[in-house]
Amino acid sequence: MTLLDPVAPATLFTHPDRNLGMELVRATEAAAIRSAPWIGRGEKNLADGAAVDAMRKFLGTVDFDGVVVIGEGEKDHAPMLFNGEHVGTGNGPSCDIAVDPIDGTSLTAAGRMNALSVIAVSDRGSMYDPSAVFYMDKIVTGPEGRGLIDLDLPIGENIRRLADAKGVTVGDIVVAVLDRPRHAGLIADIRAAGAGTRLLLDGDVAGGINAARPDSRIDMCVGVGGTPEGIITACAVKALGGVIQGRLKPKDDEERQKALDAGHDLDRILDQDDLVTGDNTYFVATGVTDGALVAGVQRSNGMIRTESLILRSHSGTQRRVIADHLESKWYGED
């Protein structure tokens, strides 16, 4: 047997540190499990409320000093996980935190695929403040798009550039887009360029992450979606080595003026390092309903199974966590 030549161990090997994501996953698991009984019931607010309550309780046990930068609050009128709220025990690292107890409340209510419970974390002061501009024009790809894609280019040119970088034909490229009336022209342009589309009913975060993953059938995610979701996606993209570009897109004159008053350049293209500075991001997602990213909550024979994805940029690790939970511990005798 031939041994591999020894190499000098890297810093991560000689000085291993704590992976906060392994603790945060308990909060996304809890949110997914508590919202699961509402899948397909047509009650998105009740599903979201159950997820918010569970996530908040479990975040309170994590040893970190988190400040919610992107939360429920103004968007969902939630009494917990609002912007500015402190979460965690107060001990440990100081962090910015973005939460979406259910990314895809409508998907959950309808029993459709790709609903997730999501948390993203980065060092304190590193998350971009969009100043209440809720929408952003975005493009996301994997590492092949670095230095090539450009939000200012026509979508057909971006598709051709990505196809060349990946060594495939344009016809092999699949582009994910939220299925919204505002994207009718964009969808037509993608198809006119010769690429295929994957139309998403909801789930902006999952679409972007699948575009950045090397083993996904989605090559690119484009279109106007939530700014908070863009920042959450940036935390994941940094761990995957991918690319995201975004530009704020105010929905009306009032929102535009708020952005200008806050000092935003509405013509500026923001990349992953603008949306989240530094190289210590965590992204944690647990499936609520089944999807291409992770499986949804499964209940069978008194057990609950969850699947989660944990990404960390500093270590470059991607972990999948499959956990089995005793159902009676979560739902009692109901």
- Residues annotated within the binding site for substrate are 103-105, 135, 180-182, 202-204, 226
Q: Residue length, the chain?
A: 334
With contact defined as beta carbons under 8 Å apart, do 295 and 324 qualify?
no
With contact defined as beta carbons under 8 Å apart, do 203 and 285 qualify?
no
Known binding site: residues? 48, 72, 100, 103-105, 135, 180-182, 202-204, 226, 229
| Residue indicated by tokens 């569970």 | 54
Q: What distances in angstroms separate CA 147 from CA 10, 70, 84, 90, 240, one per listed residue?
A: 28, 28, 35, 40, 16
Known binding site for Mn(2+): residues? 48, 72, 100, 103, 229
